[in-house]
Structure 1
C-alpha cells in the first residue's frame, strides 16, 4: 500500500470521559503526525516506529514524540507545537511502546518532561496520567490504520542497509567462533587419545627408596659455593604417585622435601617439576606437612612448582619460593639469606630426583594416577565445546537470515514473509 499525504480527521475516545479531535498526516520514514485538540489538551504528537539494532526486522515498538518535526533537535530546545495538557507544556518523548499491548499502568519514560526557561521539570501526576490516556488513544488509532504494514516498511528502509551490515558483522563473528571451537574440539580429541593411551600403557618398574646417603654441593645464583648437604631417600611416596621423599641434612638445613612432576598444569603426561617442603601426604592443598624443613633456623612450608626442566641447573632459576607460616593459612616470605639457601636446596633436590634411572617410570605413574580424572574432564570439555559450537552455528544462521531480510526490505514493496512484526 502506498502512503498518502492527505489529511484525515478523527474523534478518539479518551479514558474516563471526553474525546480527542485529531488531524492525521503520514510523514516520510513511516511517522504519523497527530494534531490533537480536546478538553485542556492541544498540540502535536508524532508516532514513529522504532527500528532498533538487534531488534525485530520490522519495527515492533513505537516512539511517541511531543511536538512536531523529524529533525534531531536538541534535548533543551522546544519543538513546534509542543503539547500542552492542563496548562503544562510537554517536552521530549517516550519510547518502547508495544502498540498491541499498551500498559494499563504508568509507562511514560524518563525523557517525558516539561521544559520551561531551559529547565526540565517532572510532569505532575495529573498531567502524566492524562498524557498516558492521550497516548493510548493515539496508539489505538495507529494500530487500526490499514496502512500499518506500509508504515513499518517505510520506517525500516532508511536503516536497513546499516542493520544488514551489522548482522553481517555478527554472523562473521559467530563464524569465526565456530572455526575456533572446531580447532579446540580437535585439540580436545587429541588430548583424549593421549589420555586413553596413558591409561592403556603398562606401568614401568619403579626403584624402591635407596637410603644410602649422597653428598651434594650447593651453589647460589652466581655459582658461588654454599656448602654441601647430605641427601637420602626416605620413601617412594605411595600417597602421591610419582613422587619421592628426600631427607636433607647439612649446615643450617634439616628436614624433608617431596619431589615430583608439575601438578598445577593438567597435562596428560606431566612436565616440569614440583618440590614441596615436608613429607607430602596429598597432591594439593596441604597447609602443614610432617617434617617441614628448617633453613637458617626458620621453618619453611609451601612448595615450588615449575612448568619445565629445560632451564633447571644448580644455579637457575635464581630465586625460588620460601614461605614462613604465621598461622595455618597465612604466612610471609622468608628472609633473603634463608630464601637464597632454600633456593639452592630446591634446585639440587629437583635435579637429584630427575637424575634417578626410573624418572620416566615415576612420571608415567603420576600420569596414570591422574589419567581417569583427565579423561572425565576432557570428555566433559568435548561435550561443552560441542554445545558451544552448535549454539554458534545457530547464531550464524540467524544473523545471516536477518541480514538477508534487511536487504530484502531495500527492494521489496511489501514486507517479506520471513520478516514478521515480531521476529
Structure 2
C-alpha cells in the first residue's frame, strides 16, 4: 500500500521581505506536495507537481495549481481553497520549465485570473498579483531544494505511465503507418521509373500516314443524329501521339488536335485531350479555330479518365468561349451542343483507331525525358521522407520501451 501523506510545518522567506508559513503535505504515491500557505494578506493552497514540458520521460518542469483538486486546472471552474490575496480569490496556475533558473522570477510563468459570473474573468489587481507571485516563487524555490524531489518526479512519472504508454503506442502506430504508406509509394514510383526508362530506350513507333477524307455522323447525348460532316486527317504524330482532324459540314468548319490526356501521370498516357485549332501551346493564337453556326470557338477538353469516350458521352464538355469580339458573350446553346457532338465523335474516332496504342506509345516516348526527371525527383523526396520517418519510428520505439519500464 502507498505510504500515507506526511505533513511538515515550514517557514519560507518571501523575495521582497516577510515570511510565508506553510504546511507541506507530501503524497509520495502521486509525487505531489500540497502547500497550505498563510501570511499577512494571503492564504490558500498551492498544489505542486512535476510537469512534462516536451514529452520527456521524467518531468523536467514543475507546475503549481492554485487550490485543491486533481490536475489540470480548468477554466471557469473554481477549486477549493484557492489562494486569496488582499481579499481577492485567484484562479490559475504557475509553471516553471527551467528549475535551474530559480529563484529568478522570470523563470516562472504565472497565469492568474479572477473568476466572475457568466464565464467571465477579471484581471488580478497589481498588489494581489505581486504578493501571489512572491508566494509562488518562495514555494517553488523550496520545492526545488527538497531532498526527495527525484523521488517525487519518479512517482509522478510512474503515475502517468499508463496514459503515457497509450499515447506512445498510438504515436508509434501512426508513424509506422506513415512509413508503410511512403514505402508503398516508393515501390510504385520505382516501377514507374523502370517503365519510363524502358520507354525512353525503345524507339518511337513510326507515325502512320493521314487517312483520306470520310463522312461521319455526330449525335447528341441521347444518341440521336444531329448532323454529318466530312473529316480529313491533316497531320498524324505532330506533336507525337496526336491526330489533327479538319471537319467541314453544314454550319461547321475547323480543326481540332486530338491526343492522349496531356497531364496523364501514367507512363503510357491514357485519357483524351482535344485542342480547338492547330496551335501547339494553350493561350497562343490558334489557326483554323472551329466556326459553328457562324461563331468562332476557342477552348479545349481534357478527359482524364481511362474510360472510353463514346459519340454520346460524356453528355457535357467544358463550355467553349468566343474567339472573336464580343469575347464575353456566351456561345449560343445550339452552337455549343453541335460542337460538343462533333468533339465527342472525333475523340471516339481517335480512340478507335487501329494504331491508337502506337500513338500513345509515341506520346509516352516523347514525354519520357521530362517524366524521368520528375520521377527521379519524386523518388529522391520519398527516400528523404523514408529516412526521416524511419528515424521517427526508431525514436518512438525507444521511447515506448522507456515508458514501459515505468509500469509497475
Q: Provide TM-score, normalisation by structure 1.
A: 0.84
Offset, 1:308: 4.9
- Per-residue CA deviations over 1:208-257 (Å, capped at 9, x if unaligned) read 546x433222222333222221222333464x332232222111112111
Hey, what's the Cα distance between the residues in 2 that align with 1:122 and 1:378? 59
Q: How many residues align?
A: 402
Hey, what's the Cα distance between the residues in 2 that align with 1:327 and 1:18? 90
For 1:20, the equivalent position in structure 2 comes to 20
Q: In the alignment, does 2:385 pair up with 1:384? A: no
Classify 1:403/1:206 alpha carbon distance in 2 versus 1 (closer, same or farther; 3 Å): same
Hey, what's the Cα distance between the residues in 2 that align with 1:155 and 1:333? 72
User: What's the Cα RMSD here?
Assistant: 3.1
For 1:407, the equivalent position in structure 2 comes to 404
For 1:94, the equivalent position in structure 2 comes to 94
For 2:66, the equivalent position in structure 1 comes to 66
Offset, 1:72: 8.0
Contact in 2 for aligned 1:164/1:404 (Cα 8 Å): no
3-state DSSP of counterpart to 2:374: helix
Q: In the alignment, does 2:267 pair up with 1:268? A: yes
3-state DSSP of counterpart to 2:154: helix
Offset, 1:69: 4.5
Q: Which deviates more, 244-253 or 391-400?
A: 391-400
- Per-residue CA deviations over 1:126-148 (Å, capped at 9, x if unaligned) read 22233222212211111111111
Hey, what's the Cα distance between the residues in 2 that align with 1:121 and 1:399? 42
Hey, what's the Cα distance between the residues in 2 that align with 1:106 and 1:73? 17
Contact in 1 for aligned 2:295/2:322 (Cα 8 Å): no
Which runs of no fewer than 5 residues in structure 1 stay unpaired? 412-423
Contact in 2 for aligned 1:326/1:332 (Cα 8 Å): no
Offset, 1:11: 3.4
Hey, what's the Cα distance between the residues in 2 that align with 1:139 and 1:401? 32
Which runs of no fewer than 5 residues in structure 2 stay unpaired? none
- Per-residue CA deviations over 1:349-400 (Å, capped at 9, x if unaligned) read 2233345554444322211221111111111111122222222222222222
- Where do 1:206-245 residues align within 5 Å? 206-209=207-210, 212-236=212-236, 238=238, 240-245=239-244
3-state DSSP of counterpart to 2:405: helix
Hey, what's the Cα distance between the residues in 2 that align with 1:77 and 1:94? 17
For 2:318, the equivalent position in structure 1 comes to 321
For 2:124, the equivalent position in structure 1 comes to 123
Q: Which deviates more, 201-210 or 363-372?
A: 201-210
3-state DSSP of counterpart to 1:202: coil
For 1:202, the equivalent position in structure 2 comes to 203
3-state DSSP of counterpart to 1:156: helix
Offset, 1:312: 2.4
Classify 1:4/1:290 alpha carbon distance in 2 versus 1 (closer, same or farther; 3 Å): same
- Per-residue CA deviations over 1:146-184 (Å, capped at 9, x if unaligned) read 111111122122221122022112212222222222221
Classify 1:6/1:288 alpha carbon distance in 2 versus 1 (closer, same or farther; 3 Å): same
